[in-house]
Amino acid sequence: MIKLVVFDLDNVIIDGEAIDEIGKLMGVQDQIIEITEKAMQGNMDFETAIKERVKLLKGASIEDIKKISDEMPLMKGAEETIAALKEKGYKVATISGSFDLIANSIKEKLGFDYTFSNTLLEEDGILTGEVIGPLVEGSKFDVLSKLVEDEKISLEECVAVGDGANDISMIEAVKIGIAFNAKPALKEIADEVIETRDLTDIISLLENKPNLEKDKKQSTKIEGNLDNAMDKKDEYEKKLSKISEEREQFNQKAKKHREIRDELNNSLKENLNVAIEFRDKRNKINEEVEKNKKLRDKANEELKKMEWSSGRRDRMKIENEIKKIDKIIETRVLDIKKENKLVKDANDLRKKLMEIQEDEGVHEEAQKLKETSESYHAKVVELSEQAQENHESMLEYFRKTDEIRTNADEAHQKFLEYKNSASAKHEDFKSVLGEIHKVNKQLGGMRSKRKDIENRASRKKDREEKEKAEEIYRRFKEGKKVSTEDIMLLQKHNIV
């Protein structure tokens, strides 16, 4: 059963990073953001990051920082979420590497039961550039462990909500760790991830807690100690590496066939463009062919009209009659009287033919029209041959285009096959990564519990040593002899 919900402050309860806003006062916002990002991504330890950032704040006014605190916007749903959690009987706390000037103000606004943060040192209302507090050298897990001990509850009765790498220690340790608009390093180990910037989503998540806990019970079971858990993680990581390698091989093959496909498609476009160019040339030439045909036919029509109007029709008629008579005389057996009559008729027709004179001007014009017609006809023949050549070239490039399209389609099918295989491997990759995440979560819990036990033992040892040191000091005041070891114990606990 959940009894305590712990929140980070910056970018979780408040919509922003308090130290960035303070940095604006000193004109060092960009440097602070850069350091913050490194820390949130897990590329710089928090102690170094907080000390480096606070140095940049030296000289800032406490009064100005208080104004910033009053103006800092809350994350959407913050008030409703905290109120709802408290109504359910949960205790709520913030554990933040931010500063008490901000954290205490938020505690009063929202009614947190506890708030843990650092303190900016100041002299006469001006920051010295130094910081102290439980979260400078200690981790959020350390603070949470102490709070859990004081509340007499266990980490299994806690929920933690954070957004950066410095939240990992407490996210790993609790029953339900929630990454809220978090960096990848935190998402990797969290039980739940919320991508919206609305804290009320946490309420619905916790209302479904029975289902969530049921899912957690179905997680990978790690029997035995930390070494067994690490062995299990190594096993999954080897499997993950193999799947990753196979996925990469499929991706490389898919990439190769995609490149082949794209190259073929480019070639297809080029060949298609050439085919279209030949088609356009053919069509343009055919237009010229049709134009010259019309001009030729027009010249022939004019020539025909001219020939009939110049007496040529009569000449041709007489010539045909003479040919008929000559053929009858040559092919038939006639009596002398009929034959003589046919010979006379033919001679009369020849005389009549000689009397018909063709107009010289008309004859010359007809000759020119004939030459014009022949010129147009020659052009028709020449252009038709050119059109045919372009037509054949067009067909050749269309055939090439079809061949290229077939090869491109085959390459595309291969690309899809390898891409689908890579996607299937990626799903396997995500599945194994999920198992690694579960193991990491359990490892985190084991480490946290072990550290919790070690811390408890250490604090117990310190208490026992201090009691012993106080007893030594009492005996020392009574004049009894103390050893070098006793003196060192007194110094360790600042009794002398």
DSSP conformation letters of 368-436: HHHHHHHHHHHHHHHHHHHHHHHHHHHHHHHHHHHHHHHHHHHHHHHHHHHHHHHHHHHHHHHHHHHHH
The CATH number of whichever domain residue 93 belongs to comes to 3.40.50.1000
pLDDT at residue 217, as a whole number: 39
**Residue that is written with structure tokens 């343009």 in the block:** 284
Nearest Cα neighbor of 261 from 399, 417, 415, 402 is 415
- Is 228 part of any domain? no
Give the pLDDT of residue 480: 84
Q: Which of 291-300, 334-343, 479-488 has the highest mean pLDDT?
A: 291-300
Q: Look at residues 406, 427, 448 and tell me which one is the last residue of a structural domain.
A: 427
Residue 155 lies in a domain: yes
Domains in the chain, number = 3
For residues 272 and 410, membership in a common domain is answered with: yes
Say if residue 171's pLDDT is above 70. Answer: yes
213 pLDDT above the threshold of 50 = no
Q: How many residues does the chain have?
A: 496
Amino acid at the residue 275 = A
309, part of any domain: yes
Domain finish residue from 427, 459, 479: 427
411 within 8 A of 264, measured Cβ to Cβ: yes
Q: Would you name the residues annotated as active-site residues?
A: 8, 10
Predicted local distance difference test score (pLDDT) of residue 187: 87
Q: How many angstroms separate the CA atoms of 296 and 71, rounded?
A: 94
Does residue 98 sit within a domain? yes
* 191 part of a folded domain: yes
Handedness of CA 311, 316, 317, 319 (dihedral sign): positive
Indicate the average pLDDT of the chain: 86
Q: Encode pLDDT of 435-452 as tens digits.
A: 887 777 677 666 655 665
**Amino acid 456: pLDDT:** 59
Residues paired with 225 in a beta bridge: none
Mark whether 194 and 323 lie in a shared domain.
no
- What amino acid occupies position 347? N
Span 87-139, pLDDT tens digits: 999 999 999 989 999 999 999 999 999 999 999 999 999 999 999 999 887 88
pLDDT band for position 216 (50/70/90)?
very low
Domain with 293, as residue range(s), is: 245-427
Considering the domain architecture, whether residues 199 and 252 belong to the same structural domain is answered as: no
Q: Which residue has the higher pLDDT, 87 or 46?
A: 87
Alpha helices in 94-165 (DSSP H): 100-110, 140-151
What CA–CA distances, in Å, run from 40 to 185, 186, 363, 431? 8, 9, 106, 26
Q: Are residues 477 and 412 in the same domain?
A: no
Residues 354 and 436 in one domain: no
CA 190 to chain CA centroid, nearest Å: 24
Among 255, 249, 246, 252, CA closest to 428: 246
| pLDDT for 260 | 95
Give the N- to C-terminal CA distance of the chain in Å, as an integer.
47
Does one domain contain both 312 and 442? no
Confidence (pTM): 0.49
| Domain co-membership, 460 together with 441 | yes
Report helix, strand or coil for 120.
strand
Domain shared by 12 and 127, yes or no: yes
Q: Are residues 330 and 368 in the same domain?
A: yes
- 433 lies in the same domain as 423: no
Query: What is the pLDDT averaged over residues 472-493?
Result: 83
On whether residue 280 sits in a domain, the answer given is yes
Look at residues 202, 218, 234 and tell me which one is the last residue of a structural domain: 218
Are the CB atoms for 200 and 27 separated by under 8 Å?
A: no
* Residues 334 and 454 occupy one common structural domain: no
Is residue 224 a part of any domain in this protein? no
Q: Which of 80-94, 96-110, 185-199, 462-476 has the lowest mean pLDDT?
A: 462-476
My answer on whether 368 and 320 are in the same domain is: yes
Angle between the N-to-C axes of helices 336-355 and 312-331, in degrees from 0 to 180, rounded to the nearest 10: 160
Residue 291: CATH number of its domain: 1.10.287
Task: Tell me whether residue 420 is in a domain.
Answer: yes
Helix (H) or strand (E) holding 7: strand 4-7
Confidence of residue 1 (pLDDT cuts 50, 70, 90): confident
